[in-house]
Amino acid sequence: MFKGSNVALITPFKNDKLDTENYLKLINFHIENGTNGLVPAGTTGESPTLSHEEHQKVIELCVQEAKGKLPIIAGTGSNSTEEAISLTKHAEKAGADGALVVTPYYNKPTQEGLYQHYKAINDNTSLPIIIYNIPSRCVIDMSVDTMARLFELKNIAGVKDATGDLNRLDETIKKLGTDFIQLTGEDGLAFEFNKRGGVGIISVTANLAPKLCSDFQKYSKSKSDNEIKEAERIDQMLQPLHKSLFIESNPAPTKYAAKLLGLCSDEIRLPLVKIKKETEIEVKKALSIAKLI
């Protein structure tokens, strides 16, 4: 169910409130442009600064607007196990198709703590759970052995790998097999990730270039030489954009690019701030290279 180009949806704001009108437009923008799945209320959706009410509303609106046209993997992680369970239960009740659960940040649990955290969530839902392993933000790294233990549980379905280590993909396939879903969280590594056996991405760049990202994902898994070449062409065209969106903390550059494309404002919540002028120049240049402006 979860493969191809899944967008880590930004959350538009207007006067520091959820901009429902543009949020719904964004969802339809993705449906119309071939995005394979929607991921609301993740880090790119500024989940750390959404209130609980907003977090739940973002997921509910996404489910309602998508109307079953695309699978929805709701961001339901927290460094509090109880809170992660509550958010996951809500996502299931709202009609999401899966849950993206980030490793508990700040607490720095052991591998056993990680196992027990995910087991507790697993035991309180019937949703497929995608582990989100991002050591750069959470300061912990789930081992392949811990993922193998978790994969024995009924609802642990796969991983969003944002380690940046392609060898980790090889190790995971070797130990867990190909039924364990492996999605990358690194746009810049997506081509090599898929070549090595990954099945897709949870993408930041797809917020701005959904058609290019979905085409790239499709062609990168093709057996046709011509389609592989097309995947390479798209990948090269998007590489500057991938890089520019992380010059400053995500999603500030992405929201600025979305503003240039007329998708929503670049309003962002503290402690994140709008990007600097020199970053704006790089983002504009990258959008131009990708032929988006």
Task: Please write the tens of the pLDDT for every residue from 95-142.
Answer: 999 999 999 999 999 999 999 999 999 999 999 999 999 999 899 999
160 is catalytic: yes
Active site residue: 160, 219, 255, 256, which one? 160
Give exposure, 9-44, as e/b (b: 16+ Cβ within 10 Å). bbbbbeeeebbeebbebbbebbbebbbbbbbbbbbb
Closest CA to 127 of 73, 199, 65: 73
144-151 helix and 111-122 helix, angle to the nearest 10 degrees: 20
Digit-coded pLDDT (tens) for 177-188: 999 999 999 999
Specify which residues 125 forms β-bridges with.
none
Contact 293, 261 (CB under 8 A): yes
Residue carrying the six token digits 């509910």? 60
Q: Is the pLDDT of residue 1 over 90?
A: no
Residue 193 has pLDDT above 90, yes or no: yes
- Are 267 and 255 in contact by the 8 Å Cβ rule? The answer is yes
pLDDT of res. 24: 98
Q: Is 105 a catalytic residue?
A: no
Distance CA 145, CA 269 (A): 37
pTM over 0.75, yes/no: yes
Residue pLDDT, tens place only, 22-75: 999 999 999 999 999 999 999 999 999 999 999 999 999 999 999 999 999 999
Looking only at Cα atoms, what is the longest distance across the chain?
49
How high is the mean pLDDT of the chain?
97
Percent of the chain with pLDDT over 70: 100
pLDDT digits (tens, 9 = 90+) for 231-269: 999 999 999 999 999 999 999 999 999 999 999 999 999
Pick the catalytic residue from 23, 115, 118, 132: 132
**Domain architecture of the chain: domains with CATH:** 4-224 (3.20.20.70)
What single DSSP character describes residue 207?
G
